[in-house]
Structure 1
């Protein structure tokens, strides 16, 4: 069965093989897999994105992302989605943005992947039309669903096989890959590396939200120096080399991580992970085997120094067994196929509560 799938990205984050955000990376992986396996892939995303399938670029305003910018982006997205739905025979629309209710199509089978903590979404999403299916990206996230919410089984994230093949001589630096915003706790990683006298490389992006820019200027920039540097967004090849060469990866997130792609990518490169035990991270990191779970910057500093005793090949093996990109895409394609065959009939797809 040849599928035609429309993937819709968050309006303010470009997608492509060098995408920064986890949701954008998953969307890009699905787009490329659809094309490789002979299906038709259509992607709606902001200008500056790239895709293997047919890209429908949508212009969004540059500058600070505020309420007005959101409203205009949502209007543009509604128009673009409506045009594609009108002109194409789609098997499925797959939504990835946290703001998807603002441009949710009607009358077409739709899947929304909940990439972020469930309490960040409006509760109304769990009581929308029958054409919409929802799912999480980890069992830990799925377990936080509201009473009565009907979700498909979770589909764990997977990472590129190129990461498993990346080998570099280990150097002394730690690395953080993240959006730069308060809930990601970048300042905690900087404090820990200062305590451990360890170099730190920070790869990521400061998106133009007022709170994010303020956090970077007030909490991150003052802690940067010659040995602890902010590199900005990293392309895929540079990212995997820096990950593979790192002593360890740090995940100081204060949010309930749903499925940390940064942690999984690090393990795939043979690099142990030191993290705060929030959300799904305790289910990703095996304490004392593939990394350490810590409570604060001081414990993180101690764990950074202890990661030299962990086996990189053990990290790689665990990631290969649990976080295969092939397994992830196969599970998505199974859902795509079932929804496509049932043509959006209400209640036809088995759900789990």
Structure 2
């Protein structure tokens, strides 16, 4: 199959630091190449891939101080993809909905994975206007607020099982919080849980510009107030294995309908159990009592921490291996690709044209 993967330009593929969508695009792209598919990746120019790379910005936009507006770069990328759409049997978009008006002519061989939250009211009229565009959810819960659309499946994320190795005996007796400092991610809850439990908490997270006020007004004072809390800042992939693998438990105290929550399966890959609030995708990702514990309140989180710490780390990793590898994710997407109405038709047509061309050249 000739497959195009279209990634956001905010981060490179894979990201140097934070960037869940770009990380998933990387794992999917590399696994498709490994399986023998002809893959072209539209992404930032500093991306690292074994696929054919089409650079749509010099470097990742978030790390370029000269870039003030991401939109023009993404519009230019969509035009590049549109102009070359005839080359591909399947085009897989990971940029939410920006491209919808421009792909009508070949929408039947496209699929768009919706990586973001879908409960915002402004999204409703948009998706009602495009009920035919093939889309994929990353959890069943993510679908709940949506009007009727052309769902082609739900595909849970997957990771390369070799990137985050299993740690049987963690060297640290600390709780971990990994991700982004924002109210919906619940870093203040994490600090409260750690304080009540009397355990150290390490926070490895980025602070975006839009969350700076929340950091300065709420989280930073809490970090300063509690001697058991250490703020590390944003970490890269090479640091993540050590940070998660040596943690006793990952805290996932979200307060929003999390579409997936990649950090949960990153912790599971390390064998680290997850204490998660029962919102969004968490009940789909966590096997309650096996890979983690699900709770509904702060008080229940504190009470359940002991049970979480006692979970068998080998069983946590086994849960990851059964459900969240890049290989499983890629198989799921290939099944969706094969069932797109236009994909087979285009592949057959392209093969026929190639045979004609070769025949003419031979003659």
TM-score (norm 1): 0.83
Q: Is the 8 A contact 1:168 1:241 kept in 2?
A: no
The answer for the alignment partner of 1:115 in structure 2 is 115
In the alignment, structure 1 residue 160 sits paired with structure 2 residue 160: yes
Q: Please say if residues 43 and 54 of structure 2, whose CA atoms lie closer than 8 Å, have aligned partners that are also in contact.
A: yes
Between Structure 1 and Structure 2, how many residues are aligned?
333
Secondary structure of the structure 2 residue equivalent to 1:303 = helix
Q: Which residue of 2 aligns with 1:222?
A: 221
> Which residue pairs with 2:315 in the alignment?
314
Moved more, 168-177 or 119-128: 119-128
Q: Is the 8 A contact 1:187 1:219 kept in 2?
A: yes
Q: Is the 8 A contact 1:247 1:272 kept in 2?
A: yes
Paired residue secondary structure (1:161): coil
Question: Conserved in 1, the CA contact under 8 Å of 2:204 and 2:232?
Answer: yes
1:341 aligned to which of 327, 332, 344 = 344
Structure 1, 80-89 or 147-156: larger mean CA deviation: 80-89
Residue in structure 1 matched with residue 95 of structure 2 by the alignment: 97
Larger Rg: 2
What residue number does 1:176 align with?
A: 177
Please name the residue that 2:79 is paired with: 82
| CA spacing shift, 1:84–1:283, aligned 2, 3 Å | closer
- Is 1:43 the counterpart of 2:46? The answer is no
- Map 1:24-43 → 2, pairs under 5 A: 24-43=22-41
> Is contact 1:174–1:198 with CA below 8 Å preserved after alignment?
yes
Work out the CA distance in 2 between the residues paired with 1:44 and 1:129. Answer: 25
Moved more, 19-28 or 324-333: 19-28
Between the aligned partners of 2:5 and 2:164, the Cα distance in structure 1 is 29
Question: Which residue does 1:351 correspond to in 2?
Answer: none
TM superposition shift of 1:22 = 2.5
Cα distance per residue 1:124-175 (max 9 Å; x no partner): 2243274x31111123333x15343331121111122125742253221111
Secondary structure (helix, strand or coil) at the match of 1:117 reads coil
Alignment match, 2:244: 243
Q: Which runs of 5+ in 1 are unaligned?
A: 345-353
Check conservation: 1:7, 1:41, Cα contact below 8 A.
no
Contact 1:166–1:241 (CA<8 Å) still a contact in 2? no
Residue 178 of structure 2 aligns to a residue whose secondary structure is strand
